[in-house]
Amino acid sequence: MTMQRKAPAAAALASILLIAACGGAASGGGPTAGASAPADPAQATGEITVLTNRTDMVTDGTLGRYAAEFNKTYPGIKVKFDGITDYEGEVKIRMNTENYGDVLLIPSTVSRDDYPAFFSALGPAADLSRKYQFTEKGTVDGTVYGLASFAVVNGFVYNKDVWARAGITAWPKTPAEFLTALQAVKDRTDAIPYYTNYKDGWPLSGWQGAMGAISCDPKANDKLATAPNPWSAGSDLNVSDTLLFDIVSRKLSEPDPTTTNWEDSKGLLARGEISSMFLGSWSIAQMRDAAAKAGKSPDDIGYLPFPAQVDGKYCAPTTPDYVYAINKHSRNQQAARAWVDWVLDSSTFTADIQGISSRRDAPLPTALKPFEDAGVRLFELSQAEAGKVTTIDNAAEVGLTKPEYRQRLVDIARGAAKGDLGGALTELAGKWADAVALGG
């Protein structure tokens, strides 16, 4: 998640930790084909710059503390961090050169088919998939070029105290019930029922995370590669986009979305001034931190799945956030690989942000215990056709993981743009069908 989360896409996300920016040609006259970990940690040397969308973790010293822990194992490797606010935009520009990092979180707009042109091979998928989950997202032709930084489920982070005061005692099971809950918040409290974070944009991209939750289909995203109309009635995109539209059109969101602020929104939700936002589960830890800073109880922060059920059960696909990759032009391949391996295998980063670990043997984060208790069905969302979906999306100029598509829906819903929901979804479907017909 993906986030500009000071939490991501791609959230976060998020969100989300690190990306290394080094650059330059590889030693020995040309880029290396793969990056392996150093045999002897004590003898490993080099300097890497880690690019990250977590600018907050750079400024507050959190990433520096992770690096200090890393240096207890790898004392000869110096780690620097480069926090980037417009992560997707700036890194994509840097990738026009060889100076796009030692280790990086791959921008969501980079087609998976292009990974071998930019990133070092990390190993065979058959081997790495035994240890790590979500390797499919970073795999091309049986070789892994990126490992998931962590994974999330997607749902609504909400203020439980506000919902209790509104008389809401159970998780909504349908979009209609969710809208009823938001209306109760509006009628019975002073809180804004829902906050779009429209101005920052990236949180609206997070609505793509509803894919699979509504149909309870692990292959929901893959099916976009051949779907002539992903917005047909009852489809995941139709249901989620309709819910967003209805929230705004019924005036259950902030009065002026052009003035929203992501950093401020965390405090607003923590203090009960807004009641809910659709974000990846990476957001839970940030909202609880904001509650503590505001003198409120972190336990007031709750998290619920998308309001839809199949056979009486909620479904929550686990989706990987950004994947770590190593610039194939980096001079410090082993040092970069040492950092990636340490973050995934030895650091507390994933647990600290309440992410789902890429390690198959790691437990679920404590923040998702309510999901376990409620019997929410968790499953990995297939990424087998992610490359083709991205190619089609780019050709169609829809922007499934970009904010503009859903910002336009919000604008239509609030009367700031012409049109209606049906027309907007029909237009999107037409663009998509044309791209599918042309093979992306």
Residue 30 has pLDDT above 60, yes or no: no
Q: Give the up-direction half-sphere exposure of residue 339: CA atoms within 13 A in the CB hemisphere.
A: 34
Residue 8 has pLDDT above 90, yes or no: no
Q: Which domains does the chain have, with CATH numbers?
A: 41-150+322-362 (3.40.190.10), 152-320+364-440 (3.40.190.10)
The amino acid sitting at 359 is R
Q: Tell me how far apart the alpha carbons of residues 337 and 324 are, in angstroms, rounded to a whole number.
A: 10
The rounded percent of the chain whose pLDDT value lies above 90 is 80
Q: Tell me how far apart the alpha carbons of residues 86 and 49 are, in angstroms, rounded to a whole number.
A: 17
Residue 383 has pLDDT above 90, yes or no: no
Residue 1 has pLDDT above 50, yes or no: no
Residue 353 has pLDDT above 50, yes or no: yes
pLDDT-based confidence at residue 319 (cuts at 50, 70, 90): confident
Task: Confirm if 189 and 350 have CB atoms less than 8 A apart.
Answer: no
Q: What is the DSSP string of 116-152?
A: HHHB-B-EEHHHHHHHBS-GGGGEETTEE--EES-EE
Query: What SS3 state is found at 23?
Result: coil
Query: Encoding tokens for residue 363?
Result: 């437990």
What's the pLDDT tens digit per position in 405-440?
Answer: 999 999 999 999 999 999 999 999 999 999 999 875
Q: Tell me how far apart the alpha carbons of residues 349 and 367 are, in angstroms, rounded to a whole number.
A: 15
Look at residue 150 in the predicted model and tell me its pLDDT: 95
What's the pLDDT tens digit per position in 55-68?
Answer: 989 999 999 999 99
pLDDT-based confidence at residue 33 (cuts at 50, 70, 90): low
Mean pLDDT score, 193-221: 96
Task: Confirm if 14 and 321 have CB atoms less than 8 A apart.
Answer: yes
* Residue scoring higher pLDDT (109 or 276): 276
What's the pLDDT tens digit per position in 223-264?
Answer: 999 999 999 999 999 999 999 999 999 999 999 999 999 999
Query: Encoding tokens for residue 97?
Result: 């050169």
Q: Tell me how far apart the alpha carbons of residues 234 and 425 are, in angstroms, rounded to a whole number.
A: 13
Mean pLDDT score, 24-29: 32
Query: Encoding tokens for residue 31?
Result: 């880029």
Candidates 63, 82, 70, 80; CA nearest to 38 is 70
β-strands 301-305, 309-310 pairing: unpaired
Candidates 144, 111, 147; CA nearest to 132 is 147
What's the pLDDT tens digit per position in 142-200?
Answer: 999 999 999 999 999 999 999 999 999 999 999 999 999 999 999 999 999 999 999 99
Q: Tell me how far apart the alpha carbons of residues 131 and 247 are, in angstroms, rounded to a whole number.
A: 42
Q: At what angle do helices 236-249 and 421-437 cross, to 10 degrees?
A: 150
φ/ψ (deg, to 5) at 418? -75, 155
Residue 22 has pLDDT above 70, yes or no: no
Q: Tell me how far apart the alpha carbons of residues 395 and 417 are, in angstroms, rounded to a whole number.
A: 24
Candidates 178, 203, 179; CA nearest to 407 is 203
Q: Tell me how far apart the alpha carbons of residues 148 and 131 are, in angstroms, rounded to a whole number.
A: 12
Residue 249 parent element (H or E): helix 236-249
Mean pLDDT of the chain: 90
Look at residue 14 in the predicted model and tell me its pLDDT: 33
Query: Encoding tokens for residue 3?
Result: 């986030």
Look at residue 23 in the predicted model and tell me its pLDDT: 34
Q: Tell me how far apart the alpha carbons of residues 151 and 353 are, in angstroms, rounded to a whole number.
A: 11
Residue 349 has pLDDT above 60, yes or no: yes
Mean pLDDT score, 5-28: 35
Task: Confirm if 108 and 148 have CB atoms less than 8 A apart.
Answer: no
Burial of 234 (0-12, 13-18, 19+ CB in 10 A): exposed
Place of tokens 């376990």: 372
pLDDT-based confidence at residue 112 (cuts at 50, 70, 90): confident
Mean pLDDT score, 28-54: 80
